[in-house]
Amino acid sequence: MRLLPRLFLSHTSVVVLTVVSLFVLAEVLAPAFIRHHVEEMVALIGPAGLSLREDLSRGMRTTFTGALLLASGIALGVAFVSAYLAARRVVRAVRQLSGGSLAIAEGNYLRRLPEEGQDELTELARNFNRMARALADVEASRIELITNVAHELRTPLTALQGYAEALNDGILPPEHVSAAILRETRAMERLTNDLSLVSRVEAGKIELTLHPVVVANLLMTVQERFLLLAENRHLTLQLEAPGPALLVQADAERASQVLANLVTNALKYTPAGGTVRVFTVVSTKTVAIHVQDDGPGLSAEEQRRIFERFYRTDHSRSRSTGSGGGSGVGLTIARGLARAMAGDVIVTSTPAAGSTFIFILPAVLP
| Per-residue model confidence as pLDDT tens digits over 279-335 | 999 998 999 999 999 888 888 888 888 888 777 665 443 333 333 345 567 888 899
CA 239/CA 276 separation, integer angstroms:
8
pLDDT digits (tens, 9 = 90+) for 134-167: 888 778 777 777 777 777 777 778 888 888 888 8
Max CA-CA distance within the chain?
138
Q: How far apart are CA 275 and CA 354, in angstroms?
A: 10
Task: Give the CATH number of domain 211-362; options: 3.40.50.300, 3.40.50.10420, 3.30.565.10, 2.160.20.10.
Answer: 3.30.565.10
Measure the CA–CA gap between 325 and 190, rounded to whole angstroms.
12
278: β partners: 239, 291
Identify the helix (H) or strand (E) that includes residue 211.
strand 211-214
Quote the distance between the C-alpha of residue 134 and its chain's center. 7
- Reduced DSSP (H G I as helix, E B as strand, rest coil) percent helix, strand, coil of the chain, to 5: 65, 10, 25
Domain residue limits, the chain: 3-108, 125-202, 211-362
pLDDT digits (tens, 9 = 90+) for 9-67: 776 777 777 777 777 777 777 777 776 666 676 677 766 556 666 766 777 778 877 77
The pTM score is 0.58
The tens digit of pLDDT for each residue in 82-112 reads: 777 777 777 777 788 888 888 888 888 788 8
Please provide the CATH number assigned to the domain covering 125-202.
1.10.287.130
The rounded distance, in Å, linking the Cα atoms of 145 and 71 is 68
Confidence of residue 343 (pLDDT cuts 50, 70, 90): very high
The answer to whether 254 and 208 are in contact (CB under 8 A) is yes
Residue 271 has pLDDT above 70, yes or no: yes
Q: Helix 252-269 and helix 215-232: axis angle, to 10°?
A: 30
The β-bridge partners of 236 are: 275
Residues 198 and 309 sit within 8 Å (Cβ to Cβ): yes
pLDDT given at position 317: 38
